[in-house]
Structure 1
Amino acid sequence: MDALLTRYIPNVVASKDDFIIATTQTLYMVFWTALIAGILGIILGVLLVVIRPNGILENKVIYQVLDKAINVVRSIPFIILLALLAVVTRFIVGTTIGEQAALVPLIIGIIPFYARQIENALLEVDHGVIEAAQAMGTSKFGIIVRIYLIEGLPSIVRVSALTMINVIGLTAMAGAVGAGGLGNLAISRGYNRFQTDVTIVATVLILILVFISQFVSNVIIKKISHA
């Protein structure tokens, strides 16, 4: 088996320790980005729903400001966002290189994307259920938790999976500019050194992470739907 691997992917075999480190770096970036941006994105997404016109806490001014700000940030290509936030990143973590530095632009880039996905997911909740809850005297907080978040849970899981896949893709892009991870390994060692097998295996590992994320989300959605 070792001889077969050495024959077809010699550079991968020679740099297996680098692959372990790069995979760990990618998982590190994905985990912390998903956790922090996930929490803030849900909060912002819920806020967008409740303060929108005809929302339970309607505030058109704040909604318009947040809506425009999200559209602006989402419109900036991530590779440019990395450059724009270089000063902020250096101020927060002291460097612009490495997986920790990548967390700053990753989180800032994902929050508006996820918030918009959460907003769209919660807007799928039957408005009649919300009106019924209001008629029964349910508090605003109760409507947010019991109606929006619980009734909209399948849609939230679905958009969360989409966002997770996007996060994995962005970590690969961040890696291309020195943030570490599988993206960095694929470019710096695979592409720049003409080691095609390294690029292919790094890509396959990234795809495996994507497939795992999608599989887990599908399992959760099925369990929720049958509950």
Structure 2
Amino acid sequence: MPEAVLLENLWRATVETFYMVGVSAVLATVIGLPLGLLLVITNAGGVLENPSLNQSLGAIVNVGRSLPFIILLVAIIPLTRLIVGTTIGSTAALVPLTLAAIPFFARVAETSLLEVDRGLIEAAQSMGCSYWQIILKVLIPEAFPSLILGATIMVISLLNYSAMAGVVGGGGLGDLAIRYGYQRFDTRVMLITVVLLIVLVQITQFLGDRLAKQLRKR
């Protein structure tokens, strides 16, 4: 592959990867965080204790987490086609990526929120704070650094998932590696895409760690 064509393909694939990971991470956070909150507040001893609801939500989240991504990718092809009108391309990959990330982040958020000092919650309750005040002014702010680290792990997982989406023409660096590297036996393309993915993971981890550290100092 000529250098100019390779650079153009790498740029396009990198932009597609950012698009897939960025949009799916935002959607997973918007849906997964409330789901994690529900798991915490409906748990035994939670501010809205509800064992039956908690168990039902927990079962749904566990089912979502137990499916290997490559199987989920293929299994929901009809749903993907229904939602976006196609099963090929970076936009189509958003559906399985988001569905895979939601239960993952829900459990991450649950773990982060459960780490909040129980004494702070009890103090807020004794002061007459409402459920929403406890959630918005105690639980989330206290768990925020841990939530940032959890979101960092999710984004890194999504980078890996987005590469896997290339198996079914999902676009991005994974698609480039498979179509031009593996199928055309171009080792150079394979190596470059692997290096790019490693660099993206390292940058993501560095930024997440730094942001969480700064928040903890405050």
Structure 1 and Structure 2 fold alike (TM over 0.5):
yes
For the Cα contact (< 8 Å) 1:12–1:201, is it kept in 2? no
List structure 1 segments (4+ residues) > 3 angstroms apart after TM superposition: 10-14
CA distance in 1 between counterparts of 2:192 and 2:121 reads 49
Alignment TM-score, normalising by the size of structure 2? 0.97
Structure 1 residues 162 and 168, CA gap change in structure 2 (3 angstroms): same
Deviations 1:120-157 (A, max 9, x none): 01100011111111111111101101111001111111
Deviation at 1:176?
A: 2.2
Task: Choose the corresponding residue for 1:40, options 25, 31, 34.
Answer: 31
SS in structure 1 opposite 2:164?
Answer: helix
Note the C-alpha offset of 1:11. 5.6
| Map 1:146-157 → 2, pairs under 5 A | 146-157=137-148
How many residue pairs were aligned?
Answer: 218
Deviation (angstroms), 1:14 = 4.1
Q: Offset at 1:222?
A: 1.8
Q: Equivalent residue for 2:94?
A: 103
- In structure 2, runs of 5+ residues without a counterpart are none
Deviations 1:74-121 (A, max 9, x none): 101000001111000001111110000000111111000000000001
Letter in 1 for 2:202: F
| C-alpha contact 1:11 1:195 (8 A) present in aligned 2 | no
- Cα distance in 1 for partners of 2:26, 2:120 equals 30
**How far does residue 73 in structure 1 lie from its aligned partner after superposition?**
1.2
What is residue 23 of structure 1 aligned with on the other side?
A: 14
* SS of the residue 1:179 aligns to: coil
Match of 1:64 in 2: 55
Contact 1:11/1:197 (<8 A) preserved? no
Sequence identity of aligned pairs in percent?
45
Shift of 1:13: 5.1
Question: Which residue in 1 is equivalent to 2:131?
Answer: 140
Report the 3-state secondary structure (helix = DSSP H, G, I; strand = E; otherwise coil) of the residue aligned with 2:169.
helix
Distance 2:89 2:77 in 1: 12
- TM-score normalized with structure 1 length: 0.93
**Which letter maps to 2:166?**
G
Give the Cα–Cα distance (whole angstroms) in 2 for the partners of residues 140 and 14 of structure 1: 57
How much has 1:223 moved relative to structure 2? 1.1
**Residue equivalent to 1:122:** 113
For residue 177 of structure 1, report the CA deviation from its aligned partner: 1.8
RMSD (CA atoms): 1.1
Are the equivalent residues in 2 in contact too, given 1:11–1:198 (CA < 8 A)? no
What letter corresponds to residue 10 of structure 2 in structure 1? F
The corresponding residue for 2:208 is 217
Equivalent position of 1:5 in the other structure: none
1:12–1:198 Cα contact (<8 Å) kept = no
**Contact 1:37–1:108, Cα closer than 8 Å, also in 2:** yes
1:52 aligns with 2:15: no
Letter in 1 for 2:37: V
**Residues 1:113 and 2:104 aligned together:** yes
Of structures 1 and 2, the larger Rg is shown by: 1
Structure 1 residue 12 displacement after superposition: 5.5
Which stretches in structure 1 are left out of the alignment for 5+ residues?
1-9
Q: Which residue of 2 aligns with 1:81?
A: 72
CA positional deviation for 1:62? 1.0
SS of 2:49's partner is: coil
